[in-house]
């Protein structure tokens, strides 16, 4: 494992001491994960509002006056579908509530698709975004696998829109955004939206038993990871123009942007690593480079991202030097998922060790035992702050971190749960 951070090298030296047993094989650890899933789902119930789900504050109540992004309602719909598949009472009605909001409140009945944001039930940002659409597809696919009424038809409609507007067959990837009327697309290509398209396409393939979407997920990974990240020593290149020319200075004046930050995002390297293994598990004849790339992405993200006194910096420059040193909760969740997936795929002790280290960090610094859920952001000294994020809007990442270690590698979490594979 190659690393560039002294803190990461020291952590590896400590972490790779022989372990007694894999945590993921311990009944007691699986029970702990199950309890954390339940706690997060319980906290998320407070997000229900008239038109879907709102932005939660630190205390688990919706922040007054805050707009409702499409991706928030889609993510909550997805996690409540997972809760329904787990057999958690009350999650199925919440999933259905989210589906109704997506099919009605967020729907643009004039131009087609979904508004990017609502305010008081009305569209406040009518843009059409690949990032948000990916979560709509994921929500519809997970709800379909959970057997919720209307989800399969909603998934078909969502994929039709992706096919007509976002998917670029000649590029093997998705474009980024349009105005409300589907005019000229934004002259930008982003790794983030395409990463979530991979997740959504794998779930859609499981829901529809349609391998085309797995092949499209593979094509995205070939472009973003096997071509560009490989050439940059497994650092994910995030920003491109419409011709897929990298834009290394993009958002240099907005280094902590929540979706398109300047430079390299180690958390995305970890997330891509896990998704490559999900893809690998779903293909009949997966290419060998998927495992190689997952290892490389994980190693690079650990080496660049883990920093004293612990946790992962949000962003680095293209050479791996820290830029935004705040610690965001979702990065640790993706380290948990990637380490669990790599340990599942290889059995190698180093991934078990990082799995433990990431969970220890999350438990000590991020889990909020007083008010529930996870603190979303810490400063470089690990004190809670608000900067890139405010409140606790997102349980999607944390819930998945509690599920990935309990499921065999497969295309999607909902697909694995539908198959009754939870351990």
Task: Give residue-wise pLDDT tens across range 287-320.
Answer: 999 999 999 999 999 999 999 999 999 999 999 9
Of the candidates 196, 268, 365, 376, the residue annotated as catalytic is: 268
**pLDDT confidence band for 14 (50 / 70 / 90):** low
Q: Is the pLDDT of residue 413 over 90?
A: yes
Report DSSP letters for 169-233, one per residue.
Answer: TTTTEE--EE-TT--SPPS-EEHHHHHHHHHHHHHHHHHHT-THHHHHHHHHHIIIIIIIIHHTT
Greatest CA separation found in the chain?
61
Task: Give residue-wise pLDDT tens across range 142-190.
Answer: 999 999 999 999 999 999 999 999 999 999 999 999 999 999 999 999 9
* Per-chain mean pLDDT for the chain: 95
Q: Say whether 328 sits in a helix, a strand or coil.
A: strand
Nearest to 336 by CA among 313, 361, 314: 361
Q: What's the whole-model pTM score? A: 0.96
Return the structure tokens found at 98. 């989210």
Q: What is the structure's pLDDT at 247? A: 98
pLDDT above 70: percentage of residues in the chain: 95
Q: Where are the domains of the chain?
A: 6-418
Q: What is the structure's pLDDT at 376? A: 98
Q: What is the structure's pLDDT at 1? A: 46
Task: Give residue-wise pLDDT tens across range 244-294.
Answer: 999 999 999 999 999 999 999 999 999 999 999 999 999 999 999 999 999
For 6-418, CATH gives 1.50.10.10
Q: Is the pLDDT of residue 114 over 50?
A: yes
Specify which residues 377 forms β-bridges with. Answer: 328
Which residues lie below 8 Å from residue 322, measured CB to CB, with a gap of 6+? 307, 313, 315, 316
Active site residue 397: yes
Nearest to 266 by CA among 208, 332, 204: 332
Q: What is the structure's pLDDT at 298? A: 98
Question: Based on the number of CB atoms within 10 Å of its own CB, is 111 exposed (0-12), middle (13-18) or buried (19 or more)?
Answer: middle
Q: What is the structure's pLDDT at 420? A: 85
Q: Is the pLDDT of residue 16 over 90?
A: no
Active site residue 109: no
Q: What average pLDDT does range 87-111 have in this prediction?
A: 98
């Amino acid at each position: 494992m190659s690393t560039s951070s002294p803190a990461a090298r020291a952590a590896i030296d400590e972490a790779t001491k022989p372990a007694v047993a894999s945590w993921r094989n311990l009944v007691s650890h699986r029970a702990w994960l199950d309890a954390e899933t339940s706690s997060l789902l319980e906290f998320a119930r407070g997000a229900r509002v008239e038109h879907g789900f709102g932005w939660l504050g630190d205390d688990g109540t919706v922040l007054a006056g805050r707009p409702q992004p499409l991706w928030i309602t889609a993510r909550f719909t997805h996690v409540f579908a997972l809760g329904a598949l787990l057999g958690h009472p009350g999650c199925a009605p919440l999933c259905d509530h989210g589906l109704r909001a997506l099919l009605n409140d967020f729907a643009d009945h004039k131009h087609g698709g979904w508004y990017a944001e609502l305010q008081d039930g009305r569209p406040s940002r009518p843009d059409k975004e690949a990032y948000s659409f990916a979560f709509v597809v994921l929500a519809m696919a997970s709800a379909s696998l959970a057997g919720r009424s209307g989800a399969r038809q909603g998934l078909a409609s969502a994929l039709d829109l992706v096919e007509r507007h976002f998917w670029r067959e000649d590029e093997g990837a998705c474009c980024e955004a349009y105005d409300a009327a589907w005019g000229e697309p934004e002259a930008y290509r982003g790794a983030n939206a395409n990463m979530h398209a991979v997740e959504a396409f794998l779930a859609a393939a499981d829901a529809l038993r349609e391998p085309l979407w797995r092949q499209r997920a593979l094509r995205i990974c070939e472009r973003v990871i096997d071509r560009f990240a490989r050439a940059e020593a497994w650092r994910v290149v995030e920003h491109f123009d419409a011709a897929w020319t990298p834009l290394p200075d993009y958002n240099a004046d907005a280094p902590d942007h929540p979706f398109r930050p300047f430079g390299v995002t180690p958390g995305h390297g970890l997330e891509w690593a896990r998704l490559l293994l999900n893809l690998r598990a779903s293909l009949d004849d997966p290419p060998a480079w998927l495992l190689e790339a997952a290892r490389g992405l994980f190693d690079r993200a650990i080496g660049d991202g883990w920093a004293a006194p612990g946790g992962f910096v949000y962003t680095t420059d293209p050479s791996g030097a820290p830029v935004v040193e705040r610690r965001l909760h979702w990065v640790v969740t993706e380290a948990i998922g990637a380490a669990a997936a790599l340990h599942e795929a290889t059995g190698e002790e180093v991934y078990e060790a990082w799995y433990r280290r990431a969970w220890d960090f999350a438990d000590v610094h991020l889990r909020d035992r007083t008010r529930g859920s996870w603190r979303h952001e810490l400063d470089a000294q690990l004190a809670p702050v608000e900067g890139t994020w405010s409140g606790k809007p997102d349980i999607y990442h944390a819930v998945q971190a509690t599920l990935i270690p309990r499921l065999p590698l497969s295309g999607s979490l909902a697909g694995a749960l539908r198959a009754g594979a939870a351990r």
